Amino acid sequence: MELAGAELQFIATEFEESRRSLKVFKFRKEQDSLGEYSNVEFADIGSFSSAELKRLFEESFHTEFDQEQWRWKYEFGNGRCVVARSEPGGNIVSHYGGAPREILYFGQPNVAIQVCDVMVLPEIRRHYGKRSLFFNTAATFLEREIGNTVRQLLGFGFPNQKAMNIALRLGLYEKTDDFIELVYSVPEKPSSALQVELANLEDKQQSDAIDGLWQQMATAFGDAIIGIRDSSYLKYRYFQHPFYHRGLYHPYLVRDEAGHPSALFVLKAHGDELLLMDLISPAVDIKPMLGEIVAFCCKQWQGRALKIWITRAWQEAVQLPDCVVNDLGIEIPCNSWNRGPDAETLYGAWWLTAGDMDFM
């Protein structure tokens, strides 16, 4: 007892001289990465008006929300999406969209969807784990829209490197190719024999001719994947697009010496150069046609150079002497979350140009 009493006295002295202290700690389990958005409500394209996305879009992309372009993509183009509200009836805090696209999948008609307008409210965008708002919105979209058992067999897109790396780490995407730029050299004395006129697909003769050119082009892609480029698609993609009505797209029809249509190409000014958005031509004529288009641009556009964006697997098909090849820092993904064609099957198969991008 005396020993115990001495020990207690020693401890008391320790406390009095501040060599010991007694503290009470309260531990609280940290909220998951959704934080205050852990009660989100997911919904589809029919659950909101486009005006509700204005703030989310502008804070995500730091550019003005274009109502006309949104309608073109989601109303006229039958776009799909998944949105997340902070709570039932709350503000939209996340969006993952897609633009369906009819394709030829190794020679057979099918449907793909281009992933686009991936947005998460900036203050929670730093969370990218498998409990994050981004992951749950993306996974919900992929399960609903892409794979063997749903309407769209394939997904593709044009994410920047950061977005691609996040999706790879989370198991949402796999890589199928790189997107590159070829800038063609400007000839010193441009000479082009092209008979070129502005295209008008409201003209049935032109429309029928383009369908014929597309059929000839398509035969060369039996071992590849390519978005259908018939007159119906081209009317929607270019002639009904808000950019066309703002004078940003320049579609040209090329005729041969006999006056028969031989190609259609679409230009868009991009920086100091002209970007070749699309070229519809028999595959065997693509390289010689590109050489003629380069000369045409130089003569008709005050010496401006022509460039093309294309998947790396098809670089040789469009490469001319002395052109400069640049990496755009864009990798083409495929869905790896929902069951569908694997990345090995798809690798290097896609023919994609700037015209396949929803925002160009």
User: What pLDDT does 299 receive?
Assistant: 87
Tokens of 154: 């394939």
User: What pLDDT does 110 receive?
Assistant: 98
Q: Which pLDDT band holds residue 31 (cuts at 50, 70, 90)?
A: very low
User: What pLDDT does 11 receive?
Assistant: 66
Percent of the chain with pLDDT over 90: 71
For the chain, what is the mean pLDDT? 90
What would the pLDDT profile of 141-158 be if each residue is shown by its tens digit?
Answer: 999 999 999 999 999 999
Separation CA 129–CA 302 (nearest Å): 50
What CATH class has 182-332? Answer: alpha beta
Segment of 19-28, 54-63, 326-335 carrying the highest mean pLDDT: 326-335
Could you tell me which of 221, 217, 248 has the C-alpha nearest to residue 231? Answer: 217
pLDDT at 33 over 60: no
**Three-state DSSP state, 96:** strand
Do residues 344 and 212 lie in contact, with contact meaning Cβ atoms separated by under 8 Å?
A: no
User: What pLDDT does 289 receive?
Assistant: 94
Tokens of 328: 């755009």
DSSP label of 187? P
Q: Is 199 exposed, middle or buried (0-12, 13-18, 19+ CB in 10 A)?
A: buried
User: What pLDDT does 3 receive?
Assistant: 58
Do residues 111 and 152 lie in contact, with contact meaning Cβ atoms separated by under 8 Å?
A: yes
Q: Which pLDDT band holds residue 29 (cuts at 50, 70, 90)?
A: very low
CA dihedral 285, 278, 237, 165 (to 10 degrees): 130
Q: Show Cβ contacts of residue 138 under 8 Å, excluding neighbours closer than 6 positions.
A: 96, 118, 167, 170, 172, 337
What would the pLDDT profile of 106-149 be if each residue is shown by its tens digit?
Answer: 999 999 999 999 999 887 766 677 888 889 999 999 999 999 99
**Three-state DSSP state, 66:** coil
pLDDT at 354 over 90: yes
User: What pLDDT does 8 receive?
Assistant: 66
Instruction: Read off the pLDDT of each residue in 165-177 and give the average, rounded to a whole number.
Output: 95
pLDDT at 35 over 60: no
pTM of the predicted model as reported, rounded to 2 decimal places: 0.86
Instruction: Read off the pLDDT of each residue in 170-197 and give the average, rounded to a whole number.
Output: 88
Q: Which long-range contacts (CB under 8 A, 24 or more apart) does 287-290 make?
A: 287/317, 287/318, 287/320, 289/254, 289/262, 289/263, 289/265, 290/184, 290/318, 290/320
User: What pLDDT does 302 receive?
Assistant: 85
Instruction: List, by residue range, all CATH 3.40.630.30 domains of the chain.
Output: 40-178, 182-332
Could you tell me which of 113, 99, 181, 154 has the C-alpha nearest to residue 336? Answer: 154
DSSP label of 259? S
Separation CA 99–CA 80 (nearest Å): 6
For 40-178, the fitting CATH number among 3.40.50.300, 3.40.630.30, 3.90.550.10, 3.40.190.10 is: 3.40.630.30
Q: Show Cβ contacts of residue 116 under 8 Å, excluding neighbours closer than 6 positions.
A: 73, 97, 98, 99, 157, 358, 359
